Every structure is written in structure tokens, then in C-alpha cells.
Amino acid sequence: MIRRDNLASDVLKVLALSDVHFRIEGKKIMYN
């Protein structure tokens, strides 16, 4: 479980896997 009061960037770090990469650009989460 992940606390919702984390920053989006911190939540994405938890979700990041070897084949999952995220970056945040303004109001967008870019997934590649």
C-alpha cells in the first residue's frame, strides 16, 4: 500500500520497475 499524501513522483518511484519508466512534465505523467 502507498500513502496518497505522497508526491506523485514518490508514488511513481515505488511503482517503477525494470521495464517501467515514468517522468513528470507539468500536468502529465509520461510513461515509456
16 binds other proteins (CB under 8 A): no
20 binds other proteins (CB under 8 A): yes
2 binds other proteins (CB under 8 A): yes
29 binds other proteins (CB under 8 A): yes
Cα(24)–Cα(8) distance, rounded to whole angstroms?
Answer: 9
Is the distance from CB of 2 to CB of 16 less than 8 angstroms?
no
Phi–psi pair at 9, nearest 5 degrees: -65, -35
The binding site for other proteins (CB under 8 A) comprises 1-5, 8, 11-12, 15, 17, 19-20, 24, 27-32
